[in-house]
Chain A
Amino acid sequence: MMKILAAGVVPLLLVLHWKPGAGSPLPINPVNATCNTHHPCPSNLMSQIRSQLAQLNGTANALFILYYTAQGEPFPNNLDKLCGPNVTDFPPFHANGTEKVRLVELYRIVAYLGTALGNITRDQKTLNPTAHSLHSKLNATADTLRGLLSNVLCRLCSKYHVAHVDVAYGPDTSGKDVFQKKKLGCQLLGKYKQVMAVLAQAF
C-alpha cells in the first residue's frame, strides 16, 4: 500500500507542486490509474502543448545567454567546456515514438527540467542576487514548464488514461560549491536549449 502511494500520488503531487530544491529523483514507473482532473481538458490541448514548446524553445537561447553572461568569466568564453550539454541521467526522448510515448517522455523531461530550473533559480538568487532579469527569466520559464507539465498530464490522463508517470530529477546542487553550481546550471541550460529545439520539432 505504501509502495503504491509512493509510486503514484506522491510523485504526482510533488511534480505538480514542486518548488526549487524540493524532493529528489523518483523512479520512473508509469502505471495505468484513474485520472482525476478538476475540470475537463481543453480540446486544443495539443496545440497548447506545441505553443508552449515553441515558447520555451524561443526563449531557451536567450535564457542560456543570460545565464552564462550573468555568471561572468570564465563562462562566456568557455562555453564548450563549462556549459556543454553534458547532463547525466537526462530523460531520453524518442521523436519517432507514438504520441503517447512522446508525451510520457516529454512529461519526464519537463519534470526533470522543472526541478533543475528550481535548483538553478534557488542558487542564482544566492550567487547573483542582483541578476533580476535572469531571475525573472528563470521564473517565467519554470512557470511555463509547470503549465506544460499540466497540459501533458491532462493529455495523458484524458486521452491515454495515464494517471502516473515515474520521473527522475536532476542532481541536487545544494551541497556543491559556487563554481560547481554555476557550471551545473550552465550545463543544464545548455541541455535545456538543446532538448527544447528537439521537442519543439517533435510535436
Chain B
Amino acid sequence: MWMSKTWLVQAFFIFITTESIGKLLDPCGHISPESPVIQLGSNFTAVCVLKEKCMDNFHVNANYIVWKINHFTVPKEQYAILNRTASSVTFTNITALSVQLTCNILTFGQIEQNVYGITVISGLPPEKPKNLNCIVYEGKKMMCQWDPGRETYLETNFTLKSEWATEKFADCQTKRATPTTCIVDYSPVYFVNIEVWVEAENALGKVSSNHINFDPVDKVKPSPPRNLSVSNSEELSSILKLSWINPNIKSVIRLKYNIQYRIKDASTWNQIPPEDTSTTRSSFTVQDLQPFTEYVFRMRCMKEDGKGFWSDWSEEASGITYEDRPSKAPSFWYKIDPSHTNGYRSVQLIWKTLSPFETNGRILDYEVTLTRWKSRLQNYTVNDTKLTVNLTNDRYIATLTARNLVGKSDPSVLTIPACDFQATRPVMDLKAFPKDNKLWVEWTAPNESVRKYILEWCVLSDKLPCILDWQQEDGTTHRTYLRGNLVESKCYLITVTPVYADGPGRPESIKAYLKQAPPSQGPMVRTKKVGKNEAVLEWDQLPVDVQNGFIRNYTIFYKTIIGNETAVNVDSSHTEYTLSSLTSDTLYMVRMVAYTDEGGKDGPEFTFTTPKFAQGEIEAIVVPVCLAILFTTLLGVLFCFNKRDLIKKHIWPNVPDPSKSHIAQWSPPTPPRHNFNSKDQMYSDGNFTDVSVVEIEPNDKKPLPDDLKSLDLFRKEKSGTEGHSSGIGGSSCMSSSRPSISSGDENESAQNTSSTVQYSTVVHSGYRHQVPSVQVFSRSESTQPLLDSEERPEDLQLIDNVDSGDNILPRQQYFKQNCSQQETSPDISQFERSKPASAVSEEDFVRHRQQQISDMVQSSGSGQLKGFQEVSAADAFGPGVEGQGERFETVGVAAVIDEGMPKSYLPQTVRQGGYVPQ
C-alpha cells in the first residue's frame, strides 16, 4: 500500500516536470539537419529557421541570425539569407571531427541569444575489408578475421555474413573489443561449401569485402595428436617406436604428420622426413638412433592434402634406446715417473671416459692388459680411469677395453717403449690459433704412418704448476681443437705427440691463447744509466700471469714537465732501450705500455733527471784550465825570475845606499872596532832618543838582493854599530819616503819617486862626534837625490864586488832562515804585513837574527818566540845598542848637508828608548 503511494507521487512529479520543461524550453527556431554526419573534407550547409512567435516577441528576422561554431562567430560571408525566417551557413572542406554549431539572434539589435545548436560529426566511410580468412578449430566454431582498412573516426560496424548455396546463416556481429574477428555461432559443417564476406557500415556508408567460398574442412586446424608414447626394442638399439591417438577429425579427414625428435639435452630438433609421415597413422618407428640415448619426441598433424592448418605440437614424450656395446675404444695414454728405483719405473696408464654417444650403455669397468716381450699377460680390471703399475725398463704393450652390459669395446693399444728408447719423428709445422671460441691446433703429419696423436696442454703460470690435460686424435687427423674447459687470457702450452706402432714420437710444443686480452699490468720501466743527453731504460719481461696475450711490442712514452709526450715503439724482445736527444738537467717522466693483440696496458710512471754535465765533462774542463793556470803561473814565475831586476825596479823604490854615497866616501873613516865600545858607551840609550819611522805598504816579500848586498856591505863596514838600523833604515824600500840608504841601481826609480818621497833628515848630533844639544828629526821636502853616488851605481857595484866574496854565505843563510821562519810561523808573515819590517834594511834583519839567537838561549817556546818576533820587529825601529850613535851621526851629517834648515819631524812611531830586549 505504501509502495503504491510512492509510485504515484513519483509518476505525478515526472509528468509535471515534463510538461513544464516542454513549455519552458520551447526554442525560437531550429537548425536543419538536426544531427549531421559529414565526410571529412566535404562541404556542409545548415539552415536556421526562426519561429514567427519569437520574431514578433524579439522583433527580429533572419538578418539578425548569427552563426557560431565552437563558440566562435562564423564570418558573415558564409551566411545566406534564404527568406525572412531562414538563414543558412556553409562550411567548405571540413576537417574537424566534431564541432558545435549554434544559431543565435541579436535581440533588440544587440543582445545575443542562442536559438538552437547542433553537433556536426565528421568522419570517413568504411573501406572495403581485406584479407578475409577463416579458421575452423577442431571441435569449435569457425572464426573469421580481416583487415578493417583505414580509420573512419566514426562508429563502424562489421558484420560477417555466411551462407550455403541453399541457405543463409545468421549474421556474426563483431564485438567492440575485437572489431576485426568474429566467431560464428553455428557449428561448422564439413564438405559443404560456405560463402563468407564482411560488411562494414557506418553513418557515411556501407561496403562489403570480397566473398570467399570454401569448404570448412579445408580450413580446419586439427587438435594435436594425444597420448604420444615412446617404446624401445631390445633387438635393435637404434630404434624407438612412437604411438599416439589421432584427433577426432581423423574420422572425417585424412591426416599427415610432422614428427620431430632430439636428444634429451640437445636444443635443436630433428625432423622425420615429411614423406614418411604423409598418411594417416597412429604409430611410427624412428630409426638410426644412438644406442642408450634418451630422445624426446613431439608431433603435429593437418589435413592430408595440405589444406587447412597444422595443429599445435603435441605434448613431448621421451624414450631411451636400448644399450649396445661401446662403439669406440677409449683414449689411452701414459705417464712415466722419471725416478727409477731398482730397475723399475712407475708408469701411470690413463684413459678418458667415453662420451655418452660412444659408451652405448653404462660402462661397468675397464680391462687393462700389459704384455712384455715373450712374457705372460698381466690383466687388470679397473673402475677408475687410471692405473699405476711398476714396469721394468723393457718395452710393453698395453691394451684397454671398456665393458658395458652388452659387450666390450674395441681394444685401445699403446706401446710403452723401453727405457732407452729415443723418440724421433715429431709432427711438423705445429700451429695453434683461436677460432669460433675454440683453440685449434694444426700440424703436418710426419711421413710415417701415425697410429694416433696425443695432445697435451696446460696453463702456463708463474704461480701455479702446469697441470696437464690431454686428448687423443686419430692418426688421420691433422687439425683439431682442444676439448677442455679453456679460459680466456691464459697462456696454454700445447704439446702434440705422434704415436707410432713402436712407441711415441718426439713431442712438439707451442704456446697459444684462446682469446687474448690487454695485459693486467704494465711493465715497470727504470733507468739503467742516465746521461746528459740520453738515458738507458730497462725493464723486466711481464710475468706470464699478467700478460694475457702475446706481448707484441712496447711503447715508451716520455715527456718533460712542460713538453709534449713522445712515444717510441720497441720490439717485445728487448728489455732495454736508449732514449737519445734528451735535454740536460731536465726532469723526464717516462712510462711504458705493453701491447698484446687486444690492446695495451701502461705501467707506473717513472721519473728521472738528466745531469747537467756529461760524465768526464767537468774533468775535461777543469784539468785543462788548471793546467793552463799552472802553465801561466810557471811562465809568470819564469818571467819574473828572468826579469826580476826590472820588476824590482818597479816595485821597490830606489833607496840610495848611504854607504855608497859621496858623503860616505869623503866622510871620516869609520872608527876602529876597538873604539866601538867607546862609541856604544858614548851613544848609549839615553843619547839615541827618537827615531822617525815611515810606514810603508809592503807589496812584495821578495828579497832584495841588491839592497841586502848594499846593506851587508854597509853592515860590514859598520860592524861596530850593528844592531841598529836607524830610523832611516826603518823606512822600507817600499816606502814612498826616500830612505837614507839605497842601492845605486835604483837611481832611476829614485828619481821617479822623488816627487813623492820626502827625505828624512836626521839631525842626530853634532858634526864629528859632537853631540847635538837637541836631537832633531827633520823632514826634508827636497826631491833631489841625496847623494851623487846614487846616480852612479858603478860606485855601489864596486863596493859590492869588494864585499861579495865574504858576504855571500851569510846573506844566503839569512835568506834561508828568514824563509823558514815565514813558513813555520804564519803569524810572522801577518805581522810582517802589518809591520813593514820584513822589507826593511838588512841591518834590521841582522839584528833580528841576532836577537833570535840570544833569545833562544835565554828562553824557548812558541809563545815566547811569537812575542820575540813581535818585539824584534818593533826592535828594528827601536833604539839601537851599539853603533847606533855613530850611524845616526853619519846620517845626521848628511841630513844637515841636504837640509840647510832642519825641520821638525813628528815620528809616526816614537819609542822613547822604549825597547827593552826580553
Where the two chains meet, the residues of A that have a C-beta atom closer than 8 Å to any C-beta of B are: 16-17, 37-42, 44, 48-49, 51-52, 55, 58-59, 139-140, 143-144, 146-148, 150-151, 153-154, 157
Contacts and interface: CB of A to CB of B under 8 A. Distances in A.
Contact of B167 (A16, A41, A144): A16
A73 B386 CA distance: 76
22 contacts: A38-B163, A38-B195, A39-B163, A39-B165, A40-B165, A48-B192, A48-B193, A51-B190, A51-B217, A51-B252, A55-B190, A55-B251, A55-B252, A139-B187, A143-B187, A143-B189, A147-B192, A150-B164, A150-B166, A151-B192, A154-B166, A157-B166
Given A58-B251, A59-B251, A52 B191 contact: yes
Given A38-B195, A42-B213, A55-B252, A147 B189 contact: yes
A55 B250 CA distance: 10
A161 to B, nearest CB: 14
B189 A48 contact: no
B629 to A, nearest CB: 133
A40 to B, nearest CB: 7
Given A38-B195, A42-B213, A58-B251, A146 B189 contact: yes
Given A42-B213, A58-B251, A151 B167 contact: no
A42 B215 CA distance: 9
A55 B164 contact: no
Contacts of B213: 39, 42
Contacts of A55: 190-191, 251-252
Contacts of B251: 55, 58-59
Nearest to A58: B251
B191 A150 contact: no
A140 B187 contact: yes
Contacts of A48: 191-193, 215
Contacts of A59: 251
B479 interface: no
A38 B192 contact: no
Interface string B490-504: 000000000000000
A39 B252 CA distance: 25
Interface string B178-203: 00000000110111110100000000
Given A41-B193, A48-B191, A55-B251, A150 B167 contact: yes
Interface in B663-684: none
Contacts of A44: 215
B529 interface: no
Given A48-B215, A55-B252, A58-B251, A147 B190 contact: yes
B612 interface: no
Interface of B, helix, strand, loop or mixed by DSSP: loop
B632 to A, nearest CB: 136
Contacts of B211: 39
Nearest to A62: B251
B168 interface: yes
Contacts of B186: 143
B166 A37 contact: yes
Contacts of B167: 16-17, 38, 146, 150
Nearest to B164: A150
Interface string B194-226: 010000000000000001010101000000000
A150 B165 contact: yes
B806 to A, nearest CB: 174
A144 B189 contact: yes
Given A37-B165, A139-B187, 8 more contacts: A38-B166, A38-B195, A41-B165, A51-B191, A52-B192, A55-B251, A144-B189, A150-B192
Given A58-B251, A59-B251, A154 B165 contact: yes
Contacts of B168: 38
A150 B215 CA distance: 13
Interface residues of B, number: 20
A8 to B, nearest CB: 14
Contact of B165 (A17, A38, A140, A148): A38
B191 A16 contact: no
A182 to B, nearest CB: 26
Contacts of A41: 165, 193
Contact of B193 (A17, A42, A51): A42
Contacts of A154: 164-166
Nearest to B251: A58
Contacts of B191: 48-49, 51-52, 55, 147-148, 151
B210 to A, nearest CB: 13
A151 B252 CA distance: 17
A3 B164 CA distance: 28
A5 B168 CA distance: 21
A144 to B, nearest CB: 6
A58 B193 CA distance: 21
B639 to A, nearest CB: 146
B622 to A, nearest CB: 123
Contacts of B187: 139-140, 143
Q: 10 tightest A-B contacts by CB?
A: A147-B192, A147-B189, A48-B191, A37-B165, A42-B193, A51-B191, A154-B165, A150-B166, A52-B191, A150-B164
A59 B252 CA distance: 9
A59 B250 CA distance: 12
A44 B217 CA distance: 13
A18 B215 CA distance: 22
Interface in B214-271: 215, 217, 251-252
A49 B193 CA distance: 11
Interface string B62-73: 000000000000
A154 B193 CA distance: 11
Nearest to A37: B165
A170 B70 CA distance: 71
Nearest to B163: A38
A103 to B, nearest CB: 14
B187 to A, nearest CB: 5
Nearest to A149: B166
B166 A153 contact: yes
A1 B190 CA distance: 38
Contacts of B252: 51, 55, 58
A147 B186 CA distance: 12
A55 B190 CA distance: 9
Contacts of A157: 166
Q: Which of B164, B187, B211, B215 has the most chain A CB atoms inside 10 A of its CB?
A: B164
Contacts of B193: 41-42, 48
A150 B192 CA distance: 8
Contacts of B217: 51
A150 B211 CA distance: 19
B195 A39 contact: yes
Contacts of A37: 165-166
A55 to B, nearest CB: 5
A10 to B, nearest CB: 15
Contacts of A39: 163, 165, 195, 211, 213
Contacts of B215: 42, 44, 48
B223 to A, nearest CB: 15
Q: Which of B190, B193, B195, B251 has the most chain A CB atoms inside 10 A of its CB?
A: B193
A122 B222 CA distance: 30
A42 B192 CA distance: 9
A151 B163 CA distance: 13
B436 to A, nearest CB: 55
A151 B168 CA distance: 14
A55 B189 CA distance: 11
A88 B251 CA distance: 31
A57 to B, nearest CB: 10
Contacts of A42: 193, 213, 215
B416 to A, nearest CB: 75
A108 B190 CA distance: 21
B425 to A, nearest CB: 77
